[in-house]
């Protein structure tokens, strides 16, 4: 019995060592796959960021270096399938020309390209097209910057109950009155039309002469805000006053992300 026990014991030890070795190798392979996946994703993110930077420069706009994230894991599986869930592009301190020597500034421009089709053969050869089914972008224009774009001395703008409110001092009858009014916002041909109405002033006499003065002043506050040309073919769709500023929403469909489109 002793001889049988001694002969089987080394086999058990050898089997245990084999199992441990296999598990260690499996762990190493798993780590290597994860590292390779992230390296590939980082390379793609840098390439996309460089292309976006070139588009920004082409539009005479500026921003910090694009922060790009290819969403969804594992990345390599998406590469093989030729389909990507979402590409996130964050542009900080975006600024671009709005015409008449004016500049529109946005602390952040958040761009999302979804349902991106990029066949592996297209990536390998550089031939063919890479297309995002939808691209959306959201940015905010601060109210201080918006007031500067209106360009009237002393004017302030803010949000109240979901509406854009403007206030400014006006000289009338030898006195200074603070007038305020609600602005209507309309998007037309890529331009935000800001028009003030319902302008009132506390303590100001409601007589025709004064009313005409106030109405004319309100007309002078009108602003046609041209949003700068944005990357990835984004077009202005909606504007909305919120507490943090005037939020603009942009979008595009079936956008080419190949060299010509991005």
- Tell me the pTM: 0.74
Sign of the C-alpha dihedral, residues 194, 195, 197, 203?
positive
Largest CA distance in the chain: 121
pLDDT of residue 72: 67
pLDDT of residue 260: 43
pLDDT of residue 173: 67
pLDDT of residue 1: 47
Compute the CA torsion angle 64, 194, 153, 60 (nearest 10 deg).
30
Distance CA 233, CA 247 (A): 19
Residues in the chain where the model's pLDDT stays below 50: 1-2, 4-5, 259-261
pLDDT of residue 219: 74
pLDDT of residue 258: 60
pLDDT of residue 262: 52
136 and 233 Cβ atoms separated by less than 8 Å: no
- How big is the CA angle at 48 (ends 47 and 52), to the nearest 5 degrees? 120
């Amino acid at each position: 019995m002793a001889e049988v026990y001694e002969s089987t014991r080394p086999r058990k030890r050898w089997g245990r060592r084999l199992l441990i070795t296999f598990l260690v190798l499996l762990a190493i392979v798993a780590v290597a796959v994860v590292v390779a996946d992230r390296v590939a994703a980082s390379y793609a993110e840098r390439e996309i960021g460089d292309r976006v930077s070139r588009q920004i420069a082409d539009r005479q706009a500026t921003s910090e270096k694009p922060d790009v994230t290819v969403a969804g894991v594992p990345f390599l599986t998406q590469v093989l399938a030729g389909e990507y869930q979402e590409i996130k592009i964050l542009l900080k301190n975006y600024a671009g020309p709005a015409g008449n020597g004016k500049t529109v500034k946005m602390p952040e421009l958040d761009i999302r390209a979804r349902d991106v089709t990029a066949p592996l053969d297209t990536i390998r050869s550089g031939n063919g097209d890479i297309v995002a089914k939808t691209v959306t972008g959201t940015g905010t224009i601060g109210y201080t910057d918006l007031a500067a774009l209106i360009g009237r001395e002393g004017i302030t703008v803010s949000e109240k109950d979901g509406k854009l409110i403007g206030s400014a001092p006006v000289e009338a009858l030898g006195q200074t009155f603070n007038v305020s009014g609600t602005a209507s916002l309309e998007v037309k041909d890529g331009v935000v039309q800001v028009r003030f109405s319902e302008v009132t002033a506390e303590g100001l006499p409601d007589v025709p002469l004064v009313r005409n003065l106030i109405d004319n002043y309100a007309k002078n506050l009108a602003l046609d805000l041209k949003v700068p040309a944005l990357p990835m073919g984004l077009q202005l769709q909606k504007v909305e006053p919120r507490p943090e500023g005037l939020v603009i929403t942009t979008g595009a469909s079936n956008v080419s992300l190949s060299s010509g489109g991005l």
